[in-house]
């Protein structure tokens, strides 16, 4: 139980750190390339590895904070984050045994759909839309950052798939 709490706390801290990294003003005003949505990638990776240590409320809170600090349209960033992670959570049994490139492809597709969803919501509410090229750039750079996030979480935080030897009844219940 304490182990699980530590993991959740770790997710909250890394998530917050990833928001701050994205918010760092490297060349404010003259940015050529948007920063990737590191938080989204982190949460995707985390949900696929430790679904029981990524409570939906924590994800939601992180998404909302990111929306507010990064000055994105409030609410829809958090919405995409929660929906994407829930979809991944539902597919966890199939994705557990797939190779990393396939997992990456799944995440990439979901990111693309998420961006489309954001555009659609803005369009419906008569907001100013960014150009599709920019959204594509943003989605692309976000997707490209997934292996880096995976390397960081897997290598430094030691977050990998649970090996079959470790599966116990309590784990099973936690994932159910």
Partner 1 sequence: MAYTSGQDQNSLWRTTRQILLGVIVLICLALFILWRIDSPRVERLQMAVADAVLPSLEWTTRPAAKVTSMVQDFQSYVRVYEQNEELRRELQAMNGWHEAALQLEQRNARLRALNNVQLSPQATFITGEIMAEGAGPFSRSGLLNVGSENGVMDGSAALDGLGLVGRISGVGEETSRVIFLTDINSRVPVILQPSGQRAILIGDNTDAPLIDFVEDTERVQAGDRVVTSGDGRVLPADVLAGQVIVSANGRLRLRLAADYQQLRFVRVLNYRPRPAIDQPGGLITDEQFFFGEEPE
Q: Does 140 bind partner 1 (CB under 8 A)?
A: no
Looking at the Cβ atoms of 94 and 170, the one nearer to partner 1 is: 170
Dump the DSSP string for 10-56.
Answer: HHHHHHHHHHHHHH--SSTT--SSPPP-HHHHHHHHHHHH-GGGS-H
As a whole number of angstroms, the longest Cα–Cα distance in the chain is 54
Find where tokens 């060349």 sit.
Answer: 27
Residues with Cβ within 8 Å of residue 10, at least 6 apart in sequence: 157
Looking at the Cβ atoms of 68 and 154, the one nearer to partner 1 is: 68
- Stretch of 2-10, 42-50, 75-83, 95-103 contacting partner 1, by CB under 8 A: 75-83
Please state the closest distance from residue 44 (CB atom) to partner 1, in A: 17
Looking at the Cβ atoms of 55 and 154, the one nearer to partner 1 is: 55
Find where tokens 């939601």 sit.
Answer: 60
Looking at the Cβ atoms of 128 and 163, the one nearer to partner 1 is: 128
Among 1, 71, 99, 156, binds partner 1 (CB under 8 A): 71
The rounded distance, in Å, linking the Cα atoms of 149 and 127 is 32
Q: Does 39 bind partner 1 (CB under 8 A)?
A: no
Find where tokens 């009844």 sit.
Answer: 169
Q: Does 131 bind partner 1 (CB under 8 A)?
A: yes
Tokens of 156: 């430094």
What is residue 72's three-state secondary structure? Answer: coil
Q: Does 173 bind partner 1 (CB under 8 A)?
A: yes
Q: Does 113 bind partner 1 (CB under 8 A)?
A: no
Give the binding site for partner 1 (CB under 8 A).
16, 20-21, 23-31, 34-35, 37, 56-57, 60, 64-65, 68-76, 78-79, 82-83, 86, 121, 125-131, 134-135, 137-138, 173, 176
């Amino acid at each position: 139980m304490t182990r699980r709490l530590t993991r959740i706390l770790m997710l909250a801290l890394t998530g917050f750190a990833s928001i701050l990294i994205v918010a760092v003003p490297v060349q404010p005003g003259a940015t050529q390339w948007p920063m990737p949505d590191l938080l989204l990638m982190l949460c995707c990776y985390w949900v696929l590895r430790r679904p029981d240590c990524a409570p939906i409320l924590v994800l939601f809170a992180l998404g909302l904070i990111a929306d507010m600090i990064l000055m994105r349209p409030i609410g829809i960033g958090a919405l995409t984050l929660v929906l994407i992670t829930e979809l991944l959570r539902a597919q966890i049994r199939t994705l557990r045994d797939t190779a990393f490139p396939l997992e990456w492809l799944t995440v990439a597709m979901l990111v693309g759909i998420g961006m489309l969803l954001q555009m659609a919501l803005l369009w419906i509410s008569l907001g100013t839309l960014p150009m599709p090229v920019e959204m594509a750039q943003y989605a692309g750079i976000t997707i490209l950052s997934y292996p880096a996030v995976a390397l960081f979480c897997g290598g430094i935080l030691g977050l990998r798939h649970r090996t079959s030897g470790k599966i116990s009844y309590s784990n099973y219940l936690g994932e159910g």
